[in-house]
Structure 1
Amino acid sequence: MLSAYHADSHRYWLEGLMTHLPNIKWTVLSLPPRYFSWRIRGNSLTWAMQQRDTLTASYDLLIATSMTDLSALRGLVPELCKIPTVVYFHENQFAYPQSSRQREGVEPQMLNLYTALAADKVLFNSHYNRRSFLDGVDNLMRRLPDFTPRLEVAAELADAMILPVGLSSANYVKRAAGDRLRVLWNHRWEYDKGPDRLQELVKACSSAALPVDFYVAGQQFRQEPKEFNDIKSIILASDTLTLCQWGYVSDHNEYKAILSSCDIVLSTAIHDFQGLSVLQAVTMGCVPLVPERLCYPEWFGRDYCYLASDNVAEEAANCLAKLQYFMAQKRLGKLAAVDVSALSWEVLAPKYAEVFRDLVTCRVNW
């Protein structure tokens, strides 16, 4: 297993695979999720020069994340060309939202493409991820000046599969009737998770005098969008809103307790390929409230999606209307858990095993 940018979601996926496929003997090489530009371009050099003995050992299968510079690594360590290879896309570099911090140039995109083409099997965690990658590749091929193998590349990638990251078994806790709605926002504190949209929603909730207890959790970084200070100030100044949690919850049991107690898990994201933080909360009984974009419509019906809009205030109004509906349901004791058992590890692990087994079997026949 090569995990070149070992972020939390990548770690969760790997731990799930190792737990639910216990008959596999794993060897793992991973690199920390920092210095993005160097990490995605330099991982092949780092591993080829510092982990050659590990890489040239005998393996049945190689699994790499899409951040791995697989084509370069195979060139530097030719022994890897003899091993059937799976590449797993947690995300892709073609579907990042525009911002002043957006990575410039096509190199991260080309690295994704070369890595996919170097694999024997490509897996994506959602249809949205696969579609945005394939569309992005095709658009890039259209823009390049000449000798672009557009049709050949599309044909090579046509059999890429959807295989989501698995979820732990559901542990639904029924929510009692009540007059206050507990709303959890549990995403990375970065621009692509829509803090400007969360800020506008908090303002709308306060103006509508909606009785909401906000739990704002999620991973924090040294630098964070300025909207978070404003969000905190609006909630603390409101007559009807309360702030019950502010900041990352490091203790696992404390975090699970929050998931079990909240009524709604909210997303305002403009960038999400599977939405694991939302899905994990849903397994604990939170009702999802998500924008009708990205990966979310794959997992949840329209009852749980609010209409998305480029106009932030308009989108906040759409989300507020859904919150008011859920508030009415809460008062009647009718908030009901959502079934995401189709995404459990118990269902998905055998599908991973089948993909791995097929590739190993094909190797025997090479």
Structure 2
Amino acid sequence: MITMSVLMIEAFYGGSHKQLLDLFQEEIKGCSVFTLPAKKWHWRARTAALYFMQTIPPSENYRVLFTSSVLNLAELVALRPDLAKLKKVLYFHENQLVYPVRKSQERDFQFGYNQVISCLVADVIVFNSAFNMESFLTSLGSFMKLIPDHRPRELEKLIRPKCQVLYFPIIFPDITRFLPAHKLGRDLLMTDIQDIEDGKADDGLMRNSFACLNPVPTAKQDTRNQEGLSNISDSLEDLNSIRRTEGTSAYHGEDMEHVAINPCSMLGGSGNLEENFSAQHMPLHIVWPHRWLEAVHCGCYPLCPKALVYPEIFPDVYLYSTPQQLFKRLQTFCKRPYLARRNAIKVDLARFSWVVLRGKFRSLLAAEAGEDL
């Protein structure tokens, strides 16, 4: 924990915007935070600068101004010249130049324009993904063509040198004792991530941490499995007592009175799931997570479109190109759930861990402008 004098402003304090500021307040000293509730997004983007102009008290202690791209930063520093001298950091959770709209003619020019002029006055511009950054920068030219005449030129050349990518940071809880053995890749162990930052392990550890596990679990893994089994034993006993109810059972033709749920099979700790009766008949749960960053950490198998930011995050094995491919994959998993359950997910979650990213964010929020992260 180090002391900083950071003025943090969030015009839409909700969702990931709130999560990021809350994390900063917990982990970084010296933050002065000013926010508006997360509602009426369009009004926040258009009028928040005037509100914060009146609300933020003058202070000689501010050194850095951090805000998301919802706020019109150019308007704020024009209204408050005392803030113009600060190191101004603009963070993009999303950008309005390519944000989905129902029809292209419905795109409201003013909100994208707010973000463009905010970038022009910012000292550092941070995007939460390379896709977010590139889609914004490469759309500047076509976006400015919406202006009827006297259009500004070469804005990308002015803005790009100030841009960088810092993934959204997440504090991943240690859930290894709840996971089956086959999902206990080294990428899920927070101790390894900590070792990398502390210099106790080489950088190659995380790159190689997603190799398939040895079929024979280590003693440490076996201990975790036993802990997980004991924690859910009561729930499994309840499952074993389920009886088939006329007209409501999803297990057609099976007498559930005689079906026992094998906890080892349920967790994938032992046995052949393909041949195990209970594993074959346990339903496949399909979720639509808004926080994928967290779902994969908890053992979910990702299945994403080969578009937008997803190829930047997920290997090809987890991507589909057409609706037909998605349907086929889901059909396969529904018929053979063990194919998804026994898969050790190979996604580099360390890139999104606060433990790994905190040094870069602290440098970002330090008073020195222009530091290469």
Deviation track 1:185-239 (CA, whole Å, cap 9, x = no partner) reads xxxxxxxxxxxxxxxxxxxxxxxxxxxxxxxxxxxxxxxxxxxxxxxxxxxx996
Q: How many residues get paired? A: 267
1:131 aligns to 2:145 (yes or no): no
Between the aligned partners of 2:320 and 2:155, the Cα distance in structure 1 is 39
> 1:286 is paired with a residue of what secondary structure?
coil
Between the aligned partners of 1:323 and 1:156, the Cα distance in structure 2 is 42
Corresponding residue number in structure 2 for 1:278: 292
1:293 aligns to 2:302 (yes or no): no
Corresponding residue number in structure 1 for 2:76: 73
Q: 1:171 aligns with which of 168, 172, 175?
A: 175
> 2:77 is paired with a residue of what secondary structure?
helix
Corresponding residue number in structure 2 for 1:344: 353
Distance change (3 Å), C-alpha of 1:94 and 1:266? farther
1:39 aligns to 2:39 (yes or no): no
The alpha carbon displacement at 1:103 in A equals: 5.7
Corresponding residue number in structure 2 for 1:353: 362
Distance change (3 Å), C-alpha of 1:307 and 1:104? closer
Listed as ranges, the gaps of 5+ residues in structure 1 are: 178-236, 242-260, 268-274, 309-314
Distance change (3 Å), C-alpha of 1:338 and 1:15? farther
Between the aligned partners of 2:168 and 2:286, the Cα distance in structure 1 is 19
1:334 aligns to 2:339 (yes or no): no
Distance change (3 Å), C-alpha of 1:119 and 1:262? farther
CA contact under 8 A between 2:101 and 2:107: conserved in structure 1?
no
Corresponding residue number in structure 2 for 1:214: none
In the TM superposition, structure 1's runs of 4+ consecutive aligned residues that sit over 6 Å from their partners are 237-241, 261-265
Distance change (3 Å), C-alpha of 1:36 and 1:145? same
The alpha carbon displacement at 1:107 in A equals: 0.2
> 2:304 is paired with a residue of what secondary structure?
strand
Corresponding residue number in structure 1 for 2:31: 26
CA contact under 8 A between 2:301 and 2:345: conserved in structure 1?
yes
Between the aligned partners of 2:149 and 2:127, the Cα distance in structure 1 is 29
Q: CA RMSD in A?
A: 3.3
1:6 aligns to 2:13 (yes or no): yes
Q: Which amino acid aligns with 2:175?
A: N
Q: 1:87 aligns with which of 85, 90, 95?
A: 90
> 1:287 is paired with a residue of what secondary structure?
coil
> 1:165 is paired with a residue of what secondary structure?
coil
The alpha carbon displacement at 1:118 in A equals: 1.3
Between the aligned partners of 2:341 and 2:76, the Cα distance in structure 1 is 56
Between the aligned partners of 1:2 and 1:332, the Cα distance in structure 2 is 42
Q: Which amino acid aligns with 1:341?
A: A
CA contact under 8 A between 1:265 and 1:286: conserved in structure 2?
no
* 1:1-366 correspondence runs (5 A): 1-19=8-26, 21-22=27-28, 24-49=29-54, 51-53=55-57, 55-99=58-102, 104-169=107-172, 171-172=175-176, 173-175=178-180, 266-267=287-288, 277-308=291-322, 315=323, 317-327=324-334, 328=336, 330=338, 334-339=342-347, 340-357=349-366, 360-362=367-369
Distance change (3 Å), C-alpha of 1:16 and 1:147? same
Q: Which amino acid aligns with 1:164?
A: Y
Between the aligned partners of 2:77 and 2:298, the Cα distance in structure 1 is 42
Between the aligned partners of 1:278 and 1:265, the Cα distance in structure 2 is 13
Listed as ranges, the gaps of 5+ residues in structure 2 are: 1-7, 183-247, 253-281
CA contact under 8 A between 2:140 and 2:155: conserved in structure 1?
no
Q: Which amino acid aligns with 2:313?
A: W
CA contact under 8 A between 1:167 and 1:343: conserved in structure 2?
yes
> 2:302 is paired with a residue of what secondary structure?
strand
Select the structure of larger CA radius of gyration: 2
CA contact under 8 A between 1:74 and 1:80: conserved in structure 2?
yes
Corresponding residue number in structure 1 for 2:265: none
The alpha carbon displacement at 1:282 in A equals: 1.0
